[in-house]
Amino acid sequence: MPTEIIMPKVDMDMATGRIAAWHVEEGASVAKGDPIFDIETDKAAMEVEAPADGTLHHPVPEGTDVPIGAPVGWLYAEGEAVRAPPTEETPTQEVPANAPDGETETETPTAQPSAPSTETLAEQDKPRATPKARKLARDAGIDLATLDGTGPRGRIQAADVAVLEEEPGKLAAPAGFEQEAGPLSVIRSKGGTGTPVVLIHGFANEAAAWSPIEAHLSERPLIRIELPCHGKSPKRRLAGFADLVSDVRRASDDLDLQSAHLVGHSLGGAVALAIADTRASRVDSLTLIAPAGLGPDINGTLLDGIGRATRAESLGPWLRQLVADDSVITDRYVRAAMMARKDPALRAAQKAMADTLFPDGTQAFDLRPALGRIAMPARIIWGKRDAIIDWRHALAAPGPVALHLFDGLGHMPHMEAPDAIGQCIAATL
Amino acid sequence: MPDSTVAADRNVPYAIRAYAPERLIDALRKMYLIRRFEEGAEDSYTRGLIHGTMHLSIGQEASAVGACMALTDDDKITSTHRGHGHCVAKGADLGKMFAEFFGKETGYCRGRGGSMHIADVEKGNLGANGIVGGGIPIAVGAALSAKRLGTGAVTVCFFGDGANNEGAFHEALNMASIWKLPVIFVCENNRYGMSTSTERSTAVKSIADRAAAYSMPGERVDGNDFSAVTEAVDAAVARARNGEGPSLIENVTYRWRGHSKSDRNRYRTKEEIAQWQERDPIARMAAMLKEHGITDDEGIAALEKDVEQAVEEAIAFAKDSPVPRIEDATRDVHTPKVAA
Amino acid sequence: MNAQAGIDVREISYAQAIREAMDIALAEDDRVILMGEDIGVYGGAFQVTGDLVDKYGTDRVMDTPISELGGAGVAVGAALTGLRPIFEFQFSDFATLAMEQIVNQAAKVRYMLGGAVSVPVVMRFPAGSGTGAAAQHSQSLEAWLGHVPGLKVVQPATPEDAKGLLLAALDDPDPVMIFEHKLLYKMKGQVPSGRYTTPIGKAAVRREGSHLTIVATAIMVHKALEAAKALEDEGIEAEVIDLRTIRPLDRDTVLASVRKTGKLLCVYEAVKTLGIGAEVSAMVAESDAFDFLDAPIVRLGGAESPIPYNPELEKAVVPQVPDIIEAARGLAEGRV
């Protein structure tokens, strides 16, 4: 058996490493301990030593990104027949081109006849990309090999190139986004009279999440504000929570309302509270649904999971954690949610936002003092089975703030029990 | 159309009685033209001037010319892969025929059809056909048009003995009969469908007998006897023009040459061919015209010379003609749109 | 649709729309005749000719014997010599009996004669599955004829197009083959009265969308539209193109749509292999629209099987709405 040369983990938070250069050519001999290749990570470049004596075969080409632990080449002992490398383990993040149906070869190297391995490797090294992605890359002068594909079998799709085009400086970044200017997106209902209700959705959620309870509120004009980096709002790199609040406050100021009922969910709840704190005279009432900002902890794993998901199959399990009864999250709902998140630039922008607002599973802002200052009627609605923010944060509320705590609901009460929550809000408008 | 229907001496052949001398001489000339045309084509083929193959009707000239005697340019014919004779009989221009053979833009089909698809629509020849039996339903359609549009035209549908075993033959004859259409089915029975004799391929002794199945007159004649052919076909044409419906006529004849240029003549004997050559329709026609004082040896010699010259001129025209432009290869697939 | 259309628009069936087109043609042009099996007093196997025989007589609405080859040939011959025949096949499957006349004669006569003639014949083919008529009466053979230069092949999907394309076919100097899906005959739709034509060779965008292009033919247009409607709730906007003519193909409409959406799904009832989907896919792959493809092309066609009798099996071998939804969703979500 040849000795596998693997991509070693040389840095704490490293998931892949890039072969910067080979010190020996294919077919050349090395002694154990000789420098054999250089790797490059975001933070460092490093020399890797040969794990055994032998002749180098099937080296992964220079410039390739390889996951930690994956083989980057094989050392064959003297006299050992050179065979095709095993294909079960993928040398790069892409599935080899000779497994077009997603089925990979499971035969061991010894079971395979001697094969023209250089050809197969050459095949495998070709990036899998759609014609549109190829054209975009060609036109922009981008080497496809530097891209990570988010499509099936790692296929590079147009969006993967579009991301790069926007941020040519960070070629190897998995995804990026371009800062966009302009006001936040605001969606107004038709009809309704009296004091409007302004709705602010949560992080990685969307304005459409309000639809289920809107029937109960529709006597009044309804105004949804989309958070930055969400929906049709511009993508921005936020310096911190205050930056986010000032964005939303500007949007709400621009509405030029004499008064409004503010309703916010999760991160939107925190924003609503911050606005109520600074625009007290124009806020008639405040409703916070599972709001952020009332305690230090937040489920960072879940946030990451949602942020990373590139397709419905990986998004669904995380979304189901948001609710108590996961039958609420139908396949169709998941697919719609994924469609809304299919723009990699949007996901990248949200990831940056999460890193700023919720670093290391911590809420980097504290609104408990604000909750103590406000004077308008306020209520907090929470599901006791919330898996992302602990409902007990509600207990920090001072006496005048009403608490509506629901046993069988999770982080999305307004979606899980729209009638109960809708009536609860409407009763006091 | 026959020039006279006056019944004179019954011993005088029908053609002599029915047609004026100049028509008969013209008929003889056409028979010579067909023969010389085909000999010229064969010679050109040998010299490598002709692409593909050809099916020669040498020996069958009386059938082609005789069957067209009663037709005008308004009347239609449909022809077969062995169709040069029908084409000449219907009045085609030899130069355009040779040009088609040579694949030239001046040919009848502008070099797109070749020997097997020569047509001369202006003279009523709807075209030779590469499919055995392919022209038979088309002839019935042409007859339907004539009846529906009231043109008074008839259609002569030529086909060979091979076609009488095709389904299209039976379907077409049946329809022509039920709708009483002005069509004359002329079977040129030259005894072989490629190599298979009618005895081996056809259940009836006489193809004309098949007319009974479609309730139309059927007549078998000596297809190498010009007068016999005209007599039978003219009667059928008259019937058709009269609204009495279709007829089937079987002209028993013989092709001297092989089926096509690839034929090695393994299915028949030299003696058989020689026997039929003794019944040369052109020699018999010439003899008949001489016997009845319509022409003489001198006249025939002049006619032959004239025909040879016409063929030479036609070949020269074809040789000198331009070839189609490559970029026009797909030009005639669809009818060009005319501005409304 | 051209400008001569009547102002009056009514809801009539696909079969009525075809009959209306034939009625108009018979009334305005003495050269037009109808030919076919049992199209006279019987009214046609699918009641498309209906009572036209009462109005125009048996000389112009001609019952033919059961002679598809001969009948088609008579129509070709009549078209060559001045008539404008509309030949109805009782079932498109019977085209197999008449292929000689359709393929060797109708399609080629003009070309073989160097453009000296035209063959203005119209042939109508009731096609497709769904009636329980099993393997020999349910086929979709349009691609067979679509393979033949010299023919034009159309597949109207709506009553309006059924009428407009038939009148356009009659105006066309060359042979036009019309494939009519049998399940559409009873479908109703808005149809202008009077004479109008639907252009041959022009597809229709039945629904605009940005996430993927569905190119469909005949009854599949309706299934694709139903699927697109369902996908709308998921945020997927499918553009649905009704090809209408499969020869000549409307390149511009299809390519423009694919350039826009980057994704192509072809849906047709005929057997998938070597069908219209293959041609549309190849057309896209060969064109500059290739550079705009952002996913593999997907084809949904009939199974590699004759059409079975059992109703559930019969449904199973041709694309249905859930199949289209699933395929479109996979494409739109980048899972293909």
Greatest alpha-carbon pair distance for chain B in Å reads 64
Give the number of beta-carbon pairs within 8 Å between B and C: 152
Q: Are C307 and C260 in contact (CB under 8 A)?
A: no
Q: Check whether C70 has a pLDDT greater than 60.
A: yes
Predicted TM-score (pTM) of this structure: 0.69
The span from the CA of B37 to the CA of B309, in Å, is 11
Pair C32, C62: CB distance under 8 Å? no
CB contact under 8 A, A335 and C293: no
CATH number for the region A3-124 comes to 2.40.50.100
Q: What is the mean pLDDT of residues C189-203?
A: 97
Q: In the 8-state DSSP scheme, what is residue C102?
A: I
Neighbours of B9 (CB within 10 A): 8
Token pair, residue B111, equals 């070099």
Q: What pLDDT was estimated at residue A65?
A: 85
Confidence of residue A106 (pLDDT cuts 50, 70, 90): very low
pLDDT at B339: 55
Query: Does residue C236 carry a pLDDT above 70?
Result: yes
Separation between Cα atoms, residue C196 and residue B217, nearest integer Å:
48
- The shortest CB-CB distance from C295 to any of A130, A134, A135 is to A130
- The closest CB to that of B109, out of C71, C112, C152, belongs to C112
Taking the alpha carbons at both ends of chain A, their separation in whole angstroms is 75
Tell me, yes or no, whether B216 lies in a domain: yes
C neighbour chains, 3+ CB pairs within 8 Å: A, B
- Span B62-78, average pLDDT: 98
Query: Using the beta-carbon criterion (under 8 Å), do C113 and B144 form an inter-chain contact?
Result: no
Is C222 a residue of the active site? no
Judging contacts by C-beta atoms under 8 Å, the chain C residues touching residue A330 are none
Is A96 a residue whose pLDDT tops 80? no
Cα–Cα distance, C286 to A237 (Å, whole number): 42
Please determine, for residue A95, whether its predicted confidence score (pLDDT) is greater than 50. no
Between CA C241 and CA C208 the distance in angstroms is: 9
Looking at C20, C137, C222, C239, which residue is catalytic?
Answer: C137
Chain A residue with minimal CA distance to C285?
Answer: A131
Domain region containing B310: 16-320
Cβ within 8 Å, pair C234-A150:
no
Question: Closest Cα partner for A60 from A32, A30, A105, A21?
Answer: A21
Percent of chain A with pLDDT over 70: 86
CB contact under 8 A, C70 and B141: no
Overall average pLDDT of the B3-26 stretch: 85
A321-330 residue pLDDT tens: 899 988 888 8
User: Which residue type does B83 have?
Assistant: G
Residue B1 included in any domain? no
- The confidence band for A279, taking pLDDT boundaries of 50, 70 and 90, is confident
* E strand spans, C18-167: 32-36, 61-63, 84-88, 122-127, 152-154
Which of B260-269, B295-304, C191-200 comes out lowest in average pLDDT?
B260-269
State the Cα–Cα distance between residues A30 and A73, nearest whole angstrom. Answer: 13
pLDDT interval class at C99 (50, 70, 90): very high
Is residue C93's pLDDT more than 60?
yes
Ramachandran class of A283: left when φ > 0, alpha when ψ lies in -120 to 50, beta otherwise: beta
- Bigger pLDDT: A305 or B39? B39
Number of structural domains, chain B?
Answer: 1
DSSP state, residue C248? S
What are C116-127's pLDDT values in tens digits? Answer: 999 999 999 999
pLDDT confidence of residue A166 = 52
Q: Tell if the CB–CB gap between A152 and C292 is shorter than 8 Å.
A: no
Catalytic entry in C68, C142, C160, C314 = C68
Residues in contact with C78: Cβ distance below 8 Å, sequence separation at least 6, in sequence order: B141, B142, B144, B145, B148, C33, C85, C121
Partners of C112 on chain B (C-beta within 8 Å) are 109, 112-113, 117, 119, 127
Please write the tens of the pLDDT for every residue from B208-237. Answer: 999 999 999 999 999 999 999 999 999 999
- Nearest residue of C to residue B176, measured between CA atoms: C74
Q: What is the mean pLDDT of chain A?
A: 81
pLDDT band at A27 (very low <50, low <70, confident <90, very high): confident
The pLDDT of residue A380: 94
Residue B340 lies in a domain: no
Instruction: Give CA–CA dist B307/B215, Å, rounded.
Output: 42
Q: How far apart are CA C18 and CA C181, in angstroms?
A: 12
Substitution target in C81, C153, C176, C247 with the highest count of B β-carbons within 10 Å is: C81
- The residue-averaged pLDDT of C252-267 equals 97
- Alpha-carbon distance C237 to nearest alpha carbon in chain A (angstroms): 11
Asked whether residue B198 is assigned to any structural domain, the reply reads yes
CA B251 to chain C, closest CA, distance in angstroms equals: 23
How many angstroms separate the CA of residue C184 from the nearest CA in chain A?
Answer: 31
Query: In the prediction, which pLDDT does A125 show?
Result: 63
pLDDT in tens, A365-377: 888 888 888 889 9
Determine, for residues B334 and C112 on separate chains, whether the beta-carbon distance falls below 8 Å. no
* Architecture per CATH, A186-426: 3-Layer(aba) Sandwich (3.40)
Rama region for A183: left / alpha / beta (φ>0; ψ in -120 to 50; rest): beta
Query: Neighbouring chains of A at 3+ CB pairs within 8 Å?
Result: C
Among the partner residues C74, C80, C104, nearest to B175 by beta-carbon distance: C74
B101, part of any domain: yes
How confident is the model at residue B45, as a pLDDT?
A: 85
Q: Which residues pair with C26 in a beta bridge?
A: none
Q: Out of B117, B142, B175, name the one closest to residue C113 (CB).
A: B117
- CA gap C201, C119 in Å, rounded: 18
Q: Beta partners for A40?
A: A18, A45
Listed residue (A174, A230, A208) closest to A350, CA to CA: A230
Q: Which residue has the higher pLDDT, B180 or A92?
A: B180
| Residues in contact with A84: Cβ distance below 8 Å, sequence separation at least 6, in sequence order | A58, A109, A112, A114, A115, A117, A120
On chain B, the residues whose CB falls within 8 A of the CB of C58 are none
Identify the structural domains of chain C with CATH numbers, from first to last: 9-192 (3.40.50.970), 204-331 (3.40.50.920)
Identify the CATH number of the domain in which residue B104 sits: 3.40.50.970
- Quote the percentage of chain B above a pLDDT of 90: 89
pLDDT tens for B143-171 read: 999 999 999 999 999 999 999 999 999 99
Contacts of A113 (CB under 8 A, 6+ apart): A83
Check the CA dihedral C273-C275-C280-C283 and report its sign: positive
Nearby residues of B205 by Cβ (< 8 Å), 6 or more positions away = none
Does A45 have pLDDT greater than 90? no
Q: Is the CB of A311 less than 8 angstroms away from the CB of C291?
A: no
Pick from A324, A294, A283: which is nearest to A397 by CA?
Answer: A294
d(CA A182, CA B130): 74
Q: How near does any CA of chain B get to the CA of C78, in Å?
A: 4
Q: Tell me the mean pLDDT in the region B329-337.
A: 92
Rounded alpha-carbon distances, angstroms, from residue C94 to B29, C69, C272, C296, C309: 47, 9, 21, 36, 18
What is the spatial distance between Cα A347 and Cα C334, in angstroms, rounded to a whole number? 15
Look at residue A89 in the predicted model and tell me its pLDDT. 41
CATH number corresponding to A131-170 = 4.10.320.10
Q: What is the pLDDT of residue A152?
A: 85
Cα–Cα distance, A303 to A411 (Å, whole number): 13
Give the range with max mean pLDDT: A348-357, A410-419, C113-122: C113-122
Please write the tens of the pLDDT for every residue from C44-56: 999 999 999 999 9
Instruction: Give the span between the Cα atoms of A29 and A75, in whole angstroms.
Output: 8
Instruction: Assess if residue B303 is contained within a domain.
Output: yes
Q: Which residues pair with C122 in a beta bridge?
A: C86, C176
| Minimum Cα–Cα distance from B330: chain C residue | C111
What pLDDT is attached to residue A169?
A: 42
Best mutation target among B108, B156, B332, B338 (most C Cβ atoms within 10 Å) is B332
pLDDT of residue A116: 42
Which residues are registered as beta bridge partners of C63? C36
Note whether A131 contacts C233, CB cutoff 8 Å. no
A176, with CB counted inside 10 A (0-12, 13-18, 19+), is: buried
Q: Judge whether C105 is closer than 8 Å to chain B, CB to CB.
A: yes
The one-letter amino acid code at B250 reads E
Q: What is the 3-state secondary structure (H, E, C) of C105-130?
A: HHCCHHHHCCCCCCCCCEEEEEECCC
Could you confirm whether C279 is annotated as catalytic? no
- Closest-CA distance, B80 to chain C, in angstroms, reads 13
C288 in A contact zone (CB under 8 Å): no
SS in 3 state form for A154-176?
Answer: HCECHHHHHHHHHCHHHCCCCCC
- A224 CB burial (10 A radius; 0-12, 13-18, 19+): buried
Residue ranges per domain, chain A? 3-124, 131-170, 186-426
pLDDT digits (tens, 9 = 90+) for B73-111: 999 999 999 999 999 999 999 999 999 999 999 999 999
Nearest-angstrom CA–CA distance, A201 and A350: 14
3-state secondary structure of A403: strand
Res C283 pLDDT > 50: yes
How far, in Å, CA of A81 to CA of A85, rounded?
Answer: 12
CB spacing of A131 vs C329 below 8 angstroms: no
Give the largest CA-CA distance in chain A. 88
Which candidate from C235, C292, C294 shows the least CB-CB separation from A336?
C235
Q: What angle do CA C191, C196, C198 make, to 5 degrees?
A: 85
Specify burial of residue B229 (Cβ count, 10 A radius: 0-12, 13-18, 19+). buried
Is it the case that chain A and chain B have 3 or more CB pairs lying under 8 Å apart? Answer: no
Determine the pLDDT at residue A250: 87
Nearby residues of A355 by Cβ (< 8 Å), 6 or more positions away: none
Q: Per CB distance under 8 Å, which residues of A are interface residues toward C?
A: 130-135, 150-152, 157-158, 310-312, 332, 335-336, 338-340, 342
Taking the C-alpha atoms of residue A92 and residue A205, their distance in angstroms, rounded to an integer, is 33
Structure-derived torsion over alpha carbons of residues A29, A34, A36, A41, reported in degrees to the nearest 10: 170
pLDDT in tens, A50-92: 888 889 988 988 888 888 778 888 898 887 888 776 554 444 4
| Torsional class of B326: left (φ above 0), alpha (ψ -120 to 50), beta (otherwise) | alpha
pLDDT at site C233: 87
Contacting residues of B for C197, CB less than 8 Å apart: none
